[in-house]
Structure 1
């Protein structure tokens, strides 16, 4: 009889999970190729995501919401940023279905293409009252924010299918005892992307960026979006060279032997809905820290604290390096002590940190701003590192892509979409302290959900036969 999913016990009415055994060894070159394919993909996806977030903080209020007052324009801009988070669960369901049916590799090629097309489209989009590269010199009016929202939806749609596939690619190839370390590579994508996006915007920032006639506001902000097409070409080249995972190949052989097989989405909801909810709640805190620490603090530092954009972007590049180190360290740490303990530690730390964050920022002491930015991203990184292995380990192979994607993107809605919108309203009314309280409450919920997680670092990725007891 299976045990309860609560606490540290095994799932009830799910699977009789087995302890890990050594899989057939892969050549070192093959593992390097898998690591590169997963990392380059998430780097590109999050680069595209971050340049939108940076532009939403610095450019879009002026370009796409020119008819609104500054505070309302900023809120509208962050609302377009939030659209992607609501699109992500849709992407998780659609791409999860195909990832569980036709394979991880082919699905990941499509997520990369869709993200690239949507991102380049944003770079070519005329503004509300301004043209783009000589076309539509008077702007396109209400169509500008409408098309921006549509492109943002497709960005979120693609990312919703990207993360689960990239982590499965590494986790299902990983040697025993090193799944956290292998699944670290796609997790490093956001750190690489944050560095690249900050650097790219820094290079193309010239003069006073609040001046609507400056180079940056007319042309410069578009270049990072268009340059993403080069990254997509590199990513496709690497991904097409990777074989399908051995775990999926085996699962594909077994699918025909299951007469009750339904859609992966329905199976994931039927058999492991608790794991989806627990994963979403446990990771909600890290999402709130990440997007508050990147896009929202970029806006807050320039518009509320008065720091120059070059300074803020430079600090973002330095923070990205520290952020990446925290991801790598925590992922390898989780191979030793377990995923659950590391994630709980991060969420508990976040409760205290978020209450201190905005008083530190509002002191207007430069050193405390830098500490606040780096500390926020490091705490996020501690939880994010092991998450790349933890979520794939929670689900059975035949709907693992769908289940992991749903849990991850549910966390994105709870922690990445809603808090920045509420925070923007608090800041506009002068109540920045409430932002920290909101984040602390969310972190408390994540601690409780992390406690309910089942420790899975010793489980086989292909283990388990469904039981009816």
Structure 2
């Protein structure tokens, strides 16, 4: 039997992607996403619940919370730099190389947080004596390492699956790595839920138990590295490399050709990234604060239920983009979040357990993660083949600073003002609590995204090998039609 000569026809390339290759890519992407969002949810929960007394003692609780969320923000602030560094490498050296590097950075940093000395130390701390100012400095360094790795991780995962996926099911298949978000969020929330219920008489910050969730990162890290080492390069990049079409200066190419596309990508993510941080970090701190006064692991439990809802909504949103279009689906979930913002935050202000779990599940699980599921194929299809990794990374992480990282910091400051104004008393319902400005901030971010959807062309079905951005392709089609 004779063998056919090598071919570079797109259909032939697609044919060489077996079901096993597709499944391996899905697992490689999902586990990396799980690790990133395990770290994300873990750090947000720790910022809200344990970092203040461990690393920023001597301050009143409100100030300590602001400082704790300040380190949370730094991880977002450095993500655009990570996106630029690893995005350039992803467009020059390939998707697989970068995905291995980023998962090592994120997982290694998270594991090391679990062995950090604290500020004062305690009998339960294996270092015996505290490290003083060195403790928060080391925490910040490791948070920056997390941010550098995360700056290109989700971009790489979504690009890999989008470039692997068959065109007619691209939206659904590309959404599968985002199930890792739910996996990571549930894992982090369950760990904290169990720890907070281990012994109600002992505070978690008085024991070594707060370290366990961070040390557990090494398990996900090991599995993710094993799978990614066996992963094939994406078909689109392999073809670019074979034809020597890989750009040597992806950043310059991005600036010259894709500036408008990057801005549109940032606009699209304002609602999703901002909503994710606001619900996962700020809402948990809000219901646990003196303003509301809820006790126990209600925040962690809310994230478990929200992630369960999100696990169903994410692939559904991807499927809807294949059926009704990327932009229309994305806009629908954004409008839902906009409409729900004020009712949800008003409901949170009552401090009711069942109501809190329900509204966080709806706000995060349906609104925010619905956009997440619709986003993967849309963002990748917006950019041309030669600057796709860098473009998606910069657009994702630019919004992460503006919308995601700073939201809990601003919200914590607003809460401290509200509690001070009320003399530390609880503020429920339609009182003068912090729920109204927080809801207004979320609505503003979401309105920006809704507006951006009207400036983005529909990308469903476009060729991923086209070096032009979608807006340039649409413009060329309009000129040809006229």
Q: Give the structure-1-normalised TM-score.
A: 0.90
Aligned to 1:321: 308
Aligned to 2:416: 428
Inter-partner Cα distance in structure 2 for 1:231 and 1:207 = 23
Aligned to 1:63: 54
Q: Deviations over 1:27-55 (max 9, x none)?
A: 21221111111101110121122211111
Cα gap change, 1:22/1:419 in structure 2, threshold over 3 Å: closer, same or farther?
Answer: farther
Match of 2:280 among 280, 294, 300: 294
> Do structure 1's residue 343 and structure 2's residue 330 form an aligned pair?
yes
> Do structure 1's residue 264 and structure 2's residue 250 form an aligned pair?
yes
Contact persistence 1:75–1:421 (CA under 8 A)? yes
Task: Tell me whether 363-372 or 29-38 shows the greater mean CA deviation.
Answer: 363-372
Aligned to 2:363: 376
Q: Deviations over 1:203-261 (max 9, x none)?
A: 2224667x8x63554211100100111110111111111100111011123345x8xx5
Name structure 2 gaps, 5 residues minimum. 1-9, 419-433, 477-482
Inter-partner Cα distance in structure 1 for 2:229 and 2:135 = 35
> Do structure 1's residue 387 and structure 2's residue 375 form an aligned pair?
yes
Instruction: Measure how far apart 1:21 and its partner are.
Output: 7.3
Inter-partner Cα distance in structure 2 for 1:166 and 1:385 = 13
> Do structure 1's residue 126 and structure 2's residue 113 form an aligned pair?
no
Matches within 5 A, 1:192-207: 192-206=183-197
Matches within 5 A, 1:29-48: 29-48=20-39
Higher RCO, 1 vs 2 (CA within 8 Å, ≥6 residues apart): 1
Cα gap change, 1:391/1:203 in structure 2, threshold over 3 Å: closer, same or farther?
Answer: same
Match of 2:225 among 236, 241, 255: 236
> Do structure 1's residue 398 and structure 2's residue 401 form an aligned pair?
no
Q: Could you say what secondary structure the match of 1:126 adopts? A: coil
Name structure 1 gaps, 5 residues minimum. 1-19
Inter-partner Cα distance in structure 2 for 1:134 and 1:370 = 33
Instruction: Measure how far apart 1:135 and its partner are.
Output: 4.4
Cα gap change, 1:460/1:406 in structure 2, threshold over 3 Å: closer, same or farther?
Answer: same
Contact persistence 2:278–2:442 (CA under 8 A)? no
Match of 2:80 among 77, 85, 89: 89
Instruction: Measure how far apart 1:382 and its partner are.
Output: 1.3
Instruction: Measure how far apart 1:299 and its partner are.
Output: 1.5
Contact persistence 1:423–1:432 (CA under 8 A)? no
Contact persistence 1:118–1:154 (CA under 8 A)? yes
Contact persistence 1:21–1:176 (CA under 8 A)? no
Aligned to 1:457: 460
Task: Tell me whether 125-134 or 69-78 shows the greater mean CA deviation.
Answer: 125-134
Task: Tell me whether 21-30 or 164-173 shows the greater mean CA deviation.
Answer: 21-30
> Do structure 1's residue 447 and structure 2's residue 446 form an aligned pair?
no
Instruction: Measure how far apart 1:111 and its partner are.
Output: 0.5
Instruction: Measure how far apart 1:331 and its partner are.
Output: 0.9
Q: Could you say what secondary structure the match of 2:164 adopts? A: coil
Cα gap change, 1:242/1:207 in structure 2, threshold over 3 Å: closer, same or farther?
Answer: closer
Instruction: Measure how far apart 1:432 and its partner are.
Output: 2.6
Task: Tell me whether 243-252 or 136-145 shows the greater mean CA deviation.
Answer: 136-145
Aligned to 1:365: 352
Inter-partner Cα distance in structure 1 for 2:114 and 2:14 = 46
Instruction: Measure how far apart 1:131 and its partner are.
Output: 5.6
Cα gap change, 1:462/1:215 in structure 2, threshold over 3 Å: closer, same or farther?
Answer: same
Cα gap change, 1:365/1:314 in structure 2, threshold over 3 Å: closer, same or farther?
Answer: closer
Aligned length: 445
> Do structure 1's residue 284 and structure 2's residue 270 form an aligned pair?
yes
Task: Tell me whether 160-169 or 309-318 shows the greater mean CA deviation.
Answer: 309-318
Inter-partner Cα distance in structure 1 for 2:127 and 2:211 = 15
Inter-partner Cα distance in structure 2 for 1:344 and 1:217 = 46
- Please give the root-mean-square deviation of Cα atoms over the aligned residues, in Å: 2.1
Cα gap change, 1:219/1:395 in structure 2, threshold over 3 Å: closer, same or farther?
Answer: same
Instruction: Measure how far apart 1:65 and its partner are.
Output: 0.5
Inter-partner Cα distance in structure 1 for 2:367 and 2:224 = 29
Contact persistence 2:294–2:351 (CA under 8 A)? no
Contact persistence 2:77–2:401 (CA under 8 A)? yes
